[in-house]
Structure 1
Amino acid sequence: MRRVVALAAVLALAGCVGPRPVPPATTAVVPPPAWRTQLGSGAPVTTGWWQAFGDPVLPGLIERALAGNPDLGAAIARVEEARAAERLARANRAPLISVGVPTTEGQTVSPFGTPSTALGVQPLFQASYDLDLFGRLRALNRATRAQALASEGARDTVRLAIAAQVATGYISLRALDQRLAIARETLAARAEALRIARRRAETGYTSNLELRQAEGEYRATEQLVPAAELAVARQENALSLLMGDNPGPIPRGLPLDRFVVPVVPNGLPADLLRRRPDLYQAEQTLVAADRSLDSARAALLPGLSLTGSAGVVLSTALANPIGVFSIGGSILSPLFDGGRLRAQASAATARRDQAAFAYRRAALTAFREVDDNLAGVLRSGQQAAALEAQRQALAGALRNASNRYRAGYSSYIDQLDAQRGLLTAELTLVQARADRLNAFVQLYQALGGGWSPADVAAVTR
């Protein structure tokens, strides 16, 4: 199985270094031009990939979790908040038009000296518009757009994590079910051994030592059953919480040993990593920091605003209405602000650098997680195969020891040792099978949503 070895472009983006000629400062970490092209908001989390395990219940559980998980609901609400902030930033670039209807009241004096009251109404429309000559508002708008996209990446990260957690939790639940079944089967075998030991002791064929040993072994196995039942109940409650439900029973599908192991094709395309939502989130966070830096630098330059107003004056003191209007403009340029604007630009530069290093770390982490999980898939399979061979050998040893004990050729301690060894091997094998399946789940998450037949066909070609 070959490793995923591409996505060099991502690392090249993350490690790109060079000066940027925009004043007032340069930095060692510079946003590459390719950041202007977004990777995509990640692959949609679907339940189709989970059918590869062959269990009919698992896809439905994941669908329920994606529909009712409270953490995902909060992530979706944060996306809506980010989109509202984007609309607000876009609205700041539009002209602002307002209307007012001020009223006045005063005294007038007629030619004959008779005072009278004059009422006036002035409907007035006002408009203002920032020309944004140097792109301060445009850069701020793009920054909020990138922040909204980053929030979508965070939402998809939560969705991907929830799907993986449900799959891992369900596999763990089936492993606990199998451990409980093994404990009950072993308890039944211990009960039969205790019955035989009691009968042999009552007839005087053996001493009470074997009876006490059999009874102690039965009690030791008996306590495994309630412990396994408690673990099953807790795992069911954890899965119910992931699906946004009250604690309750979870439907079951196939037993753990009948799960189908997905086939990992050799040489998966590294472009699969480009679908990782956390990598997309880090990229858009970097884009937002870069645009915020553009806006902070544009704030150092002059700004031009246009204002205008128009209205009609209606008054009882006037024979006819009077129309009024005004048009003006203003140029504002910072002369002395104590270094505030430059300090804001420097802070924006530092935040951009932090986002660049975070993006590079996200890319490196993606490579590491894929490599770790590919190795986990391979090694856990080898471990499960070795444990299966050990279990078969110990099962044969137990049969031989039981036959020899019943025939009187060996002591009870030989059978007891064989029983203990087989129980340990069976429980360890169950955990190894669960670990192997969970390794595939983690590989699915590391690749940003698994792989499809089209991806495999692309590798084949």
Structure 2
Amino acid sequence: MFNQMKTRYFLIAATALLIIASCKVSQHYSRPSVNAANLYRDSSATDTNSIAALPWRSLFADTVLQNLIQEGINNNLNLKTAILKIAEANATLKEAKAAYFPTLSAGATVTKAKSSQAAQSFPAGLGIDLNTTTYQADLSASWTLNVWGQLSSLKRQAIAQFLESDASKRAVQTALVASIANDYYTLLSYDQQLAITQQTVKNDIQDVETNKSLLKADVVTGAAVVQSEANRYAAEITMPDLEANIRATENALSILLGRGPGPIKRLTMAEQIPVETLNAGVSTLLLKNRPDIQQSEFAFMAAFENTNVAHSYFYPTLTITAEGGLSTLQLKDLFNNSIFYNLVGGLTQPIFNQGQNKARYRIAKAQQLEAFNTYQQSILTAGQQVANDLFSYKQAIKKAGLRKKELDALEKSVDYTKQLLTYSSATNYTDVLTSEQNLLAAQLAGVNDKLQQLQAIVNLYTDLGGGWK
């Protein structure tokens, strides 16, 4: 009895020591301290509300665009691949969880053996049968104990990789929503530029006819007629490029939607009403809303747990194996007093592979630091993007106001110079030509101004972390 008590106390003490030692082997993860405040530059935002919290259907009022985005989410091949990555990570996680449990296998064998009488040193004439047949059915189990937390670290690493793949999928969806919206708005801008150019060509054709009439009345010279024709062709020659841009953008948008190149149903640029209130929120919200930042943090978490795993290789592995079953020389006696079993506990301590273990640990530590730097860089990059988007949106608003004044002045300039050309000799057709060219350039630039405003909203929304909810 005394010896049994001593053995029990020894096992308890040994277990306690192993538990205490294992706590020092595996470190517990905690979110690293990073500075995510005041990343937006010139922004005094203190509101915790952000447009990133809006579902994308609430941001885009154009129902045609809404349908295109939904089609892209349903069919885009890159997004489907990202979803498959989640399934792969989930399978890896299940595999890591299964490592906690013993492995169990069953087997049945029939062994025929023949021994040499000379090898057995039996005297001649004993008549011993040296041919034997053994029948055996057995179960075997093996269990590696999670003494140093290696299995726990592997499980946490698999969880981090699963969350990383989920964040990656959300980042792909965010980029997809932005790409579809930006391509859609680009397509509308080309449509409007083409419409403006077509109307300009019509006006130029009318100008040619007007100048021919004025030539007959000796109001203008033949040079004016030739200049008006050249002006008409100068405008018309830009139309094939615009049509090519429309076709290329339609094809690119079709690929995003997961369909073959083809026409895209759409509204007009004039029907697009930009959102007036853009709440960026405080920059610390990026850690919550940006899926790519979350992806970087989960990658760092996985690298952290990989360091724990590498550290555990310095310590012994405790494995318990058990085997039991039935064994007999006669098949009919298999279930009659033929039971056998064995139980083995093994402790394996690495000795001659310390160099390999040290190298593995140094690599894991370096990879952990690399992942942390990537995590920090993703936060700084996100702040830069939002700062650029906020400024771009403000500048687009400012340009829109100035452009309207410019267009008003240029339209008056075209009217005045045409009237002067008809009723006064104080001007010539070169003045008319210059004013018309300036008006066309300003009209096309005005389309780009609105495109900049719409795309700044899209980019700000996605860079704040919207588009995936």
Establish whether TM, by shorter chain, passes 0.5: yes
Tell me the equivalent position of 1:299. 313
2:78 is the counterpart of 1:71: yes
Q: Give the alignment partner of residue 376 of structure 1, picking from 392, 405, 412.
A: 392
- CA distance, structure 2, for counterparts of residue 47 and residue 98 of structure 1: 53
> Structure 2 vs 1, CA of residues 31 and 189 (structure 1 numbering), >3 Å: closer, same or farther?
farther
Change (3 A) 1:31 1:183: farther
- Report the 3-state secondary structure (helix = DSSP H, G, I; strand = E; otherwise coil) of the residue aligned with 2:31: helix
The answer (yes or no) to whether the contact 2:55–2:466 under 8 Å persists in 1 is no
Give SS of 1:33's match. Answer: coil
CA 100–450 in structure 1, closer or farther in 2 if over 3 Å, else same = closer
**Structure 2 vs 1, CA of residues 418 and 317 (structure 1 numbering), >3 Å: closer, same or farther?**
closer
Tell me by how many angstroms 1:32 deviates: 6.8
TM-score of the superposed pair, with normalisation by structure 2 = 0.83
CA gap of 1:132–1:51, structure 2 versus 1, over 3 A, is closer
Distance in 2 of aligned mates of 1:451 and 1:406? 60
- Over the aligned positions, Cα root-mean-square deviation in angstroms equals 2.9
**TM-score (structure 1 length as normaliser):** 0.84
Is 2:269 the partner of 1:252? Answer: no
Q: What secondary structure does 1:102 align onto? A: strand
The Cα of 1:421 is off from its aligned counterpart by: 0.4
Cα separation, partners in 2 of 1:35 and 1:84, compared to 1, 3 Å? farther
Distance 2:206 2:332 in 1: 115
Query: For 1:263-299, what per-residue CA distance to the aligned partner results, in whole angstroms no more than 9, with x for missing partners?
Result: 3355624453121000100110111111111111111
Correspondence for 1:447 = 464
AA of the residue aligned to 2:370: Q
For residues 229-264 of structure 1, the C-alpha deviation after alignment (integer angstroms, 9 at most, x for no partner) is: 1111111111001101111111112x2133212133
> What's the offset of the Cα at 1:74?
1.4
CA distance in 1, matches of 2:172, 2:424: 62
Letter in structure 2 aligned against 1:404: L
Q: 1:60 to 1:271 in 2, by over 3 A?
A: farther
Which of 429, 440, 447 is equivalent to 2:446?
Answer: 429
1:391 counterpart residue number:
407
Matched, 1:355 2:371: yes
Contact 1:125–1:311 (CA under 8 A) maintained in structure 2: yes
Secondary structure of 1:90's partner? Answer: helix
Structure 1 residue 113 displacement after superposition? 4.2
d(CA) in 2 for partners of 1:240, 1:388: 34
- 1:116: how far off? 9.3
Pairing partner for 2:275 from 248, 257, 262: 262
AA of the residue aligned to 2:265: P
Aligned pairs, how many?
A: 419
1:308 equivalenced with 2:322 (yes/no): yes
The corresponding residue for 1:7 is none
Q: Deviations over 1:179-230 (max 9, x none)?
A: 0000100000011001112233355543221111011111111112221111
Match of residue 327 from structure 1? 343
The 1:450–1:236 alpha-carbon spacing in structure 2 relative to 1, beyond 3 Å, is closer
Does the 8 A contact of 2:174 with 2:468 survive in 1? no
1:149 aligns with 2:156: no
> Is the contact between residue 31 and residue 290 of structure 1 (CA under 8 Å) also seen in structure 2?
no
Pair 1:422–1:358, CA change in 2 (3 A): same
Measure, in 2, the Cα distance between the counterparts of 1:298 and 1:451: 38
Against the structure 1 CA distance between its residues 317 and 126, is the aligned structure 2 distance closer, same or farther, given a 3 Å change threshold?
A: closer
Q: Which amino acid aligns with 2:196?
A: I
Query: Residue 10 of structure 1 aligns with which residue?
Result: none
Q: Identity of paired residues, percent?
A: 27
1:50 Cα offset (Å)? 4.4
Give the partner amino acid of 1:217: N
> Larger deviation: 237-246 or 377-386?
377-386
Secondary structure (helix, strand or coil) at the match of 2:261 reads: coil
Separation (CA, whole Å) in 2 of partners of 1:54 and 1:323: 76
- 1:225 corresponds in structure 2 to 239
Opposite residue 329 of structure 2, the aligned amino acid is S
1:108-149 Cα deviation digits (max 9, x unpaired): 99x994969654321111000001201111101111210111
Can you list the C-alpha shifts for 1:365-384, whole angstroms capped at 9, x where unaligned? 22221121111111111012
Q: How does 1:44-63 map to 2 (within 5 A)?
A: 48-63=55-70
The code of the aligned residue for 2:439 comes to L
Q: Take 2:462 and 2:420, find their aligned partners in 1: how far apart are those partners?
A: 51
CA offset digits 1:307-366 (Å, max 9, x no partner):
000111143288545111111110011122151111111111111111111111111122
- Give distance in 1, aligned partners of 2:399 and 2:272: 17
2:208 and 2:225 in contact (8 A); partners too? yes
TM-superposed deviation, 1:31:
8.8
Deviation at 1:35, TM superposition (A): 5.6
2:30 corresponding residue in structure 1: 33
- Alpha-carbon distance between aligned partners in 2 of 1:296 and 1:264, rounded to the nearest angstrom: 51
1:92-121: per-residue Cα shift (whole Å, max 9, x none)?
222100111111124699x99496965432
- In the alignment, is residue 283 of structure 1 matched against residue 280 of structure 2? no
Question: Hey, what's the Cα distance between the residues in 2 that align with 1:250 and 1:437?
Answer: 19
2:420 is aligned to 404
* Conserved? CA contact 1:315–1:321, under 8 Å: no
Residue 55 of structure 1: how far off its partner (Å): 1.7
How far apart in 2 are the matches of 1:86 and 1:317? 44
For residue 292 of structure 2, what is the amino acid of its counterpart?
D
- Structure 2: distance between partners of 1:52 and 1:419: 38
How far apart are 1:451 and its partner, in Å? Answer: 12
